[in-house]
Copies of this chain bind each other. A is one copy, B any other.
Amino acid sequence: MVDITHKTHTLRIATAQALVLVSKPETIEAIENRKVPKGDVFEMAKAAGLLAVKKTPDLLPDCHPLPIEYTGINYRIEGLTIVIEMTVKTIYKTGVEVEAMHGASVVALTMYDMLKPIDKGVEIQRIRLLEKKGGKSDRKSTPA
């Protein structure tokens, strides 16, 4: 694990994106109308994602535990794709990009698990960092 004892506290923000692709319009309708038998997909996946962001250092060996000071989730539907954007903030010595990516991945997996009974063709298509601020290297991904 990288030594960060000498680093200073700054505001760090990261946004990660995960894409969940379903196989038919009926799946999207069931989500929007809250008709998925396991429950409200957006709300339950949000709860799972909020918890997962905090568990990142329990799962990734080199990841520093840090004070998560904000987690927000944004959903957007584009055709058969659900766009998940997970933003995490901290004031600490190291960034939160892996936390944001881990949170986004668990939101996507929770959706997969909840939708499995009604759609056998769900796939997680890409998990990537959209933007990070603070630290040495600010970065904004080009649209894709």
Please give the residue numbers on chain A whose beta carbons come within 8 Å of chain B beta carbons, in ascending order.
Answer: 1-5, 11, 38-40, 43-44, 46-48, 50-52, 54-55, 57-72, 89-93, 97-98, 101-102, 105-106, 108-110, 112-114, 116-117, 120, 123-128, 137, 139
The 19 sampled A-B contact pairs (Cβ below 8 Å) are A1-B38, A3-B70, A3-B89, A5-B11, A39-B43, A44-B46, A44-B47, A48-B61, A51-B51, A60-B106, A62-B114, A63-B113, A65-B67, A65-B68, A67-B67, A67-B92, A101-B109, A101-B112, A127-B127
- Of all chain B residues, which has the CB nearest A57? B54
Copies per assembly = 6
Contact A91/B59 with A44-B43, A44-B44 known, Cβ cut-off 8 Å: no
